[in-house]
Amino acid sequence: MRYFFFLSLPLYLLDQVTKYLIVANFPNPYVEPARSPIEVIPGFFNIVRVHNTGMAFGKFNGSAYANIAFGIIAISALIAITVLWRKNAFPTRSGKVAAALLVSGILGNFTDRILPGRGYVVDFLDFQFGHWHYPSFNVADSCICIAAALLFLSVFQKERAAEPKAKTGDQAAS
C-alpha cells in the first residue's frame, strides 16, 4: 500500500497538475491558432499542447470509439494489477515500483479521457534529436514506459528468499 501512497498518488497528482497548467495556459489547438511551442532547450526540448484520443505515438488518434475502448482497457488493467498485487505477482522491489508507476500512469491518462469537456489525453513534453522528432508525451506516459522497463528487468531478478530464522537454544537442542 505504501508504494501506491508514496509513489502512485504523488505522480498521479503531478501528471494532473502539469496537464491542468498546459490546458489553462495554451489555447486549444483545434479551436484557436496554435501557439508556438515554448522552447526550453532550443533544438531539443519544447513544451507544447497536443490532444490525443488514441494511444502511444498517436495510434488510433481521432478514432470514433477510442476513448471508450481505451477506458475499458484502463479499467481492466487496473483490476488486473490489483489482482496480481494481491497474489504477490510483484515480489521484487522493482516489480512493486513498476506496478505503482503503472497505476499512476493508467489513472492519469484515464482521468483525462473521462473529464467533462476534455475527452482526450493532454501531451506536452516534446523532444527532438536533430531531424528526428519524438511524439509528444506526458508524465503518465513516462510512468508507464518506466514501469514497462522495470517489469522487464524484474523478470531477471530473483525473489528474495525468506531469511531463515535463527534457532533458539531450545530448537537447537531438539
Catalytic residues: 123, 141
Question: Distance of CA 148 to CAs 25, 123, 138, 165, 168, Å?
Answer: 31, 19, 16, 35, 44
How far, in Å, CA of 70 to CA of 85, rounded?
Answer: 22
DSSP letters along 1-20, please?
-HHIIIIIHHHHHHHHHHHH
Please tell me the distance from the alpha carbon of residue 106 to that of residue 96, in angstroms, as a whole number. 15
**Residues 150/151/153/155 CA torsion (nearest 10 deg):** 160
The DSSP call for residue 103 is: H
Q: 165: Cβ–Cβ under 8 A, 6 or more apart, which residues?
A: none
